[in-house]
Every structure is written in C-alpha cells, then in structure tokens.
Amino acid sequence: MFKNGVKLQKFHSFEEKLKIETKISLKVYLFLEKTYFKSRKTGKRDRI
C-alpha cells in the first residue's frame, strides 16, 4: 500500500494538494468572514 501511495503521489500530489489547500483556505476564509461580520454587527470582537 505504501509503495502504491508513493507512485500515486507522483501523479496526483499537486492536484490533491491544490484541492486540499483550496478547501482549507475557503473554510478559513468563510470562518473569518463570519466572525468578522458578527463582530462588526455587535461591536464586539470575538476571540478566535
């Protein structure tokens, strides 16, 4: 399994890395946006 993983990694590592990074950055962005707007509305800053 590990050898196959290494072989697959050569082909898919860039694509998978890009997908994962995009998902993570999108989640982080949405989370920050949500907390930012919430803090703007209430006038308080939420702890992150």
> Which pLDDT tens digit goes with each residue over 18-46?
999 999 999 999 999 998 888 777 666 55
Report the distance separating Cα 17 and Cα 3, nearest Å.
19
> Quick one: pLDDT band at residue 14, thresholds 50, 70, 90?
confident
Q: pLDDT at position 1, please?
A: 45
Domain membership flag for residue 37: yes
Question: What's the structural domain count of the chain?
Answer: 1
Determine, yes or no, domain membership for 48. Answer: no
**Is 33 a member of any domain?**
yes
Structural domain span for residue 18: 1-41
Q: Is 47 among the domain residues?
A: no
23, 36 contact by CB (below 8 A): no
Nearest-5° angle of CA 4, CA 5, CA 7? Answer: 65
Whether residue 8 is contained in a domain is answered as: yes
Q: What is the pLDDT of residue 4?
A: 56
